[in-house]
């Protein structure tokens, strides 16, 4: 569990503002970059206001982030971004769906519950296949699964 306080908010906001400020003022043609520069100056100004509020100790922001719990899903999302297109959408999203429904299930991780999750997953993915590939005729990256139907 990560405890988020105002310092973390300030650091993140400053990094975002600095990064966008750098990108905006690095560009060549000044006319095309006029508005991005204006927005980045606004962002930088707001960071200064946030710092001012913090120095005056009037901003007692506090929240919690359960990184341990969401971390596996973030990893799955990164893996999907890296390999999702190569593995095919049906295969990779089936894995994601099955992972989320089993890993985050409050029920005991027994064979019976895994089979139950597998059945739900199969039915839902069949629905997705009918909706997107058959009805909407969307050509998603297929890999081995459903590649014939998409071709």
Partner 1 sequence: MEFLNYFGEVFSFINLITLIFGTIGGILLGAAPGLSPTMAVALLIPFTFHMPAEQGLIMLGAVYTSTIAGGAISAILLKIPGAPANIATVMDGYPMAQNNQSKEALHYCFISSLVGGVIGIIVLIFFTPILAKFALKFGPSEMFWIAILGVTVIATFDSGSVTKGIFSGAFGMWIATIGTDPIIGVERFVIDPIFAGGVNIIAALVGLFAIPQVFSLIENKLNESDIFQMEKRKLIDSIKYNISRVKALTVGSVIGTIIGLIPGVGGQIAGLVAYDQIKKFTPTKAGRFGKGEPDGIIAAESANNAIVGPSLVPLLILSVPGSPTAAVLLGGLLIHGIFPGPDLFTNHPKVVWTFIDSLLVGQFFMCIFGLYISGLAKYVLKTPVHYMAGIIVVLSIFGTYSVQNSFADVIVMLSLGTFMFLISKLGFSAAPIVLGIMLGPIAEANFITAKLIADTQDGILLYLLNGPINQVMIGLCILSIAYGLYGEIAKRKIR
Binding track over 107-126 against partner 1, x by CB under 8 A: -------------xx--xx-
CA–CA separation, 99 and 31 (whole Å): 49
Tokens (6 digits) for 65: 């982030």
Identity of the residue, 140 or 145, whose beta carbon is nearer to partner 1 in the bound complex: 140
Q: Residue 110: phi, psi to the nearest 5?
A: -100, 165
Restricting to residues 32-91, name those near partner 1 by CB under 8 A.
32-33, 35-36, 39-40, 42-43, 46-47, 49-50, 53, 58-61, 63, 65-66, 69-70, 73-74, 77, 80-81, 84-85, 89
CA 22 to chain CA mean position, Å: 24
Residue 102 · residue 114 · CB < 8 Å: yes
Q: What is the DSSP letter of 63?
A: E
CB count within 10 Å of CB 114 equals 14
Identity of the residue, 74 or 144, whose beta carbon is nearer to partner 1 in the bound complex: 74
One residue of 87, 88, 91, 93 binding partner 1 per CB under 8 A: 93
Q: How far is CA 56 from CA 5, 6, 15, 63, 124, in A?
A: 15, 12, 21, 20, 53
Residues that bind partner 1 (CB under 8 A): 4, 8-9, 12-13, 16-17, 20, 23-24, 27-29, 31-33, 35-36, 39-40, 42-43, 46-47, 49-50, 53, 58-61, 63, 65-66, 69-70, 73-74, 77, 80-81, 84-85, 89, 93, 96-98, 100-101, 104-106, 120-121, 124-125, 128, 131-132, 136, 138-141
């Amino acid at each position: 569990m990560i405890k988020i306080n105002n310092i973390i908010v300030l650091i993140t906001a400053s990094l975002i503002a600095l990064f966008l400020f750098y990108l905006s003022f690095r560009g060549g043609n000044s006319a095309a970059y006029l508005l991005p520069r204006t927005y980045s100056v606004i962002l930088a100004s707001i960071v200064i206001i946030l710092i001012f509020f913090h120095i005056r100790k009037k901003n007692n922001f506090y929240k919690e982030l359960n990184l341990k719990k969401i971390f596996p899903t973030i990893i799955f999302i990164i893996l999907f971004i890296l390999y999702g297109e190569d593995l095919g959408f049906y295969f990779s999203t089936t894995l994601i769906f099955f992972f989320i429904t089993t890993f985050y299930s409050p029920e005991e991780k027994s064979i019976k519950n895994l089979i139950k999750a597998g059945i739900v997953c199969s039915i839902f993915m069949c629905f997705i296949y009918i909706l997107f590939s058959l009805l909407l005729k969307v050509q998603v990256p297929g890999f081995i699964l459903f590649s014939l139907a998409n071709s």
